[in-house]
Amino acid sequence: MSEEKTTKQILEEKLKARKRTPLYNPELLQNLAKDFETWKNSVVPEEDRKNWEVIPRTILGSEIPRGLLYTPLEVADLDYTEDLGFSGAEPYTRGLHANMYRGRVFTMRQLSGAGSPSYINQRIKWLLGAGATGINLALDLATVQMYDSDEPEAKGQVGTVGVPIDCVEDMDVIFKDIPLDKVSASIVTHYPRNTAILFPMYLVLAEQRGIPWDRLNGSVQNDFVMENLVRNAAEYIPPRDAFRVQCDNIEFLRKNVPRWNYITLNGYNLREAGTSGVTEMAVAMANGIEILKEMSRRGYDADWVAQRMAFFWAPANDFFEEVARLRAARRLWYRIMKYRFGAKNPRSMWERCHVQTSGISLQRVEPMNNVIRAAYHALAAILGGCQSLHVDSYDEAYSTPSEEASLLSLRTQQIIEAETAITQVVDPLGGSFYVEALTNEMERRILDEIDEIERMGGLVKAIESGWLHRRIANHIHREQRLIEQGVIKVVGRNYYQNPEAKEPEVKVHQYSEELRQEMCAKLERLRRERDNEQVNCALKALKEACQKGGNVMQYCLEAARAGATEGEMRRVFTDAFGTWRPPVYI
């Protein structure tokens, strides 16, 4: 084992060396402490004095105890410059940009829904027409798992929860009449392999339309945590290889598609699978740290690499915790970049994030209540200073959102933006004793968990060992029991139930077998018309790159140009790396 210091040790040393100037006068604080005790013992009811701290029990909450009232005493050592600063300035706690939403409102990026490539093209245009400002392309199950529409495993699942993409032609249909150099497109590719396979199809499409890659703008997910921890399937590659593919993609994109966010460190789906907001951020940041270490082994400067790293978070029910967490993540990532990696470019110190409101927090019973839940989640995200937002729809517990539900989600964002005036002042909750104390606590806990992961030998090992899989299973069981016992209150489900509640009329997405037939016919035609010799050569070269260490995305690009399909490329990866079954904990 190397004697390398952990991120926490490095930050502690570097931060200790910095001079701190407390905002609050220590003498006044002493007097305040006395007054506080007097007040507490004379005015506060005995019951509340005894139970001064309560633990909030919420779905996906981190259960940090909360006092009855927060005063400067909880943030006695607050140093304004060191801990908060101004917006758009170090340590970025108050926001990445000086003018925040006055300068640019968060990108309204609703997921594109489910159906055929041509339907999704219509739906994207409709969303943009209704005021959405970014594209968020959701893939169907077969595409996420990298199967062609005509493989037997894809039966019944083509076009169900997103759009099917087998080849460049599908990409062309999805983005018909959409100017690739003018829109910001998030392509929800999930895994590194999926990114290596699908994103080159987007690049080939840009080539065909004569658009230089340096004018493309958007993001892919490209997160090995999705493949090896969050999702499950019968055919995954080992974590170490998935991590390598993730870094190959980063290397290729950073060099060739400079405005593209090459990774969306996905805390969201990990949280939704079953973890606290602390673990969500710790795992995503631990991945970010390992990426920068690996890229530096490959000879790249962390300050250059990190400029296009993006994060993805899930704000759930514990409102102030969510606001505090988003603030804490910005400060912590800044500190990691500055003190652990010596970054000098502000852009690489920015923790830029897309936020999607929590789906797990939504309920099937009385689904219209979900409109209210999602609006509070969105409010927390905006008060926390997110860059981009998707609001979940009320019908999530029934189906992929209908157009009507999707529009309501977009309207939720627009109402917050245009009618509540909360976007006019930057970081409006900054300086609240409560929010600042909670921000400190969240930052501390996230760093502690990053430390735990690093002491285990890093994130790849923490995943290989099943430690995180077990943690998720334990979280799920515990949370379920707390709901059963009524400790976690869920309105309509275990609290204020309505025995007369009827199953509502929810318009849902219907599966279409014809779509699968169309996709199969297209694949048949493609395989007939393309130069199969060229495809086989490209796939063979890809396999060699996997085994011998060339950048896999470069070879996937050649395969995509030759007309290779998603499933054909998946099989090459699995042949080259072998399969890995995640540890099963229930």
Binding positions for other proteins, rule: CB under 8 A:
140-142, 144-145, 147, 153-157, 160-161, 231-234, 272-274, 360, 363-365, 396-399, 472-473, 476-477, 480-481, 484, 493, 503, 506, 508-511, 581-582, 584-586
Q: In whole angstroms, what is the distance from residue 343 CA to residue 350 CA? A: 11
Q: Of the two residues 25 and 480, which places its CB atom closer to other proteins in the complex?
A: 480
Q: Of the two residues 267 and 274, which places its CB atom closer to other proteins in the complex?
A: 274
Q: Of the two residues 31 and 579, which places its CB atom closer to other proteins in the complex?
A: 579
Least gap, CB of 433 to other proteins (angstroms): 36
277-297 vs 239-256: helix axis angle to the nearest 10? 70
Least gap, CB of 135 to other proteins (angstroms): 21
Least gap, CB of 519 to other proteins (angstroms): 14
Instruction: Report the DSSP beta bridge partners of residue 184.
Output: 217
Q: Of the two residues 155 and 176, which places its CB atom closer to other proteins in the complex?
A: 155
| DSSP letters for 28-61 | HHHHHHHHHHHHHHHTS-HHHHHT--B----TT-
Least gap, CB of 102 to other proteins (angstroms): 39
Least gap, CB of 480 to other proteins (angstroms): 5
Least gap, CB of 418 to other proteins (angstroms): 32
Q: In whole angstroms, what is the distance from residue 526 CA to residue 330 CA? A: 47
- Residue 100 has a CB neighbour count (10 Å cut-off) of 22
Least gap, CB of 401 to other proteins (angstroms): 12
Least gap, CB of 493 to other proteins (angstroms): 6
Q: Of the two residues 9 and 480, which places its CB atom closer to other proteins in the complex?
A: 480
Q: Of the two residues 23 and 488, which places its CB atom closer to other proteins in the complex?
A: 488
Least gap, CB of 230 to other proteins (angstroms): 8
**What residues contact 256, with CB distance under 8 A and at least 6 apart?**
213
CB 508 within 8 A of CB 399: yes
Q: Of the two residues 5 and 470, which places its CB atom closer to other proteins in the complex?
A: 470
Least gap, CB of 274 to other proteins (angstroms): 6
CB 229 within 8 A of CB 469: yes
Q: Of the two residues 217 and 399, which places its CB atom closer to other proteins in the complex?
A: 399
At residue 452, the 3 state secondary structure works out as helix
Least gap, CB of 61 to other proteins (angstroms): 16
Handedness of CA 187, 450, 255, 569 (dihedral sign): negative
Q: Of the two residues 477 and 525, which places its CB atom closer to other proteins in the complex?
A: 477
Place of tokens 């690499």: 305
Q: In whole angstroms, what is the distance from residue 455 CA to residue 459 CA? A: 10
Per 3-state DSSP, what percentage of the chain is helix, strand, and coil (rounded to 5)? 55, 5, 40
Least gap, CB of 556 to other proteins (angstroms): 21
Rounded to the nearest angstrom, the gap between the alpha carbon of residue 314 and the centroid of all alpha carbons in its chain is 7
- Please compute Rg for the chain using Cα positions: 24
Least gap, CB of 366 to other proteins (angstroms): 10
Least gap, CB of 509 to other proteins (angstroms): 8
Residue 163: phi and psi, rounded to 5, are -105, 140
Q: Of the two residues 157 and 409, which places its CB atom closer to other proteins in the complex?
A: 157
Q: In whole angstroms, what is the distance from residue 41 CA to residue 329 CA? A: 37
Least gap, CB of 506 to other proteins (angstroms): 7
Q: Of the two residues 146 and 450, which places its CB atom closer to other proteins in the complex?
A: 146
* H runs (alpha helix) in 492-565: 513-529, 532-548, 552-562
Q: Of the two residues 74 and 153, which places its CB atom closer to other proteins in the complex?
A: 153
Q: In whole angstroms, what is the distance from residue 89 CA to residue 106 CA? A: 19
Question: Which strand ranges, in their side-by-side order, compose the sheet holding 135-137?
Answer: 135-137, 184-187, 217-220, 260-261
Q: Of the two residues 298 and 481, which places its CB atom closer to other proteins in the complex?
A: 481
Q: What are the b/e assignments for 474-500, b being 16+ CB within 10 Å?
A: ebbeebeebbeeeebebebbbeeeeee
Give the burial class of 88: count Cβ atoms within 10 A of its Cβ; 0-12 exposed, 13-18 middle, 19 or more buried: middle
Question: Which strand ranges, in their side-by-side order, compose the sheet holding 352-356?
Answer: 107-108, 388-390, 352-356, 309-313, 263-266
Q: In whole angstroms, what is the distance from residue 346 CA to residue 97 CA? A: 11
At residue 103, the 3 state secondary structure works out as helix
Q: Of the two residues 38 and 480, which places its CB atom closer to other proteins in the complex?
A: 480
Q: Of the two residues 417 and 566, which places its CB atom closer to other proteins in the complex?
A: 566
Long-range contacts of 124-129 (CB under 8 A, 24+ apart): 124/174, 124/178, 125/177, 125/178, 126/403, 127/406, 127/410, 128/183
| DSSP letters for 167-198 | SHHHHHHHTTT--TTTSEEEE---SHHHHHHH
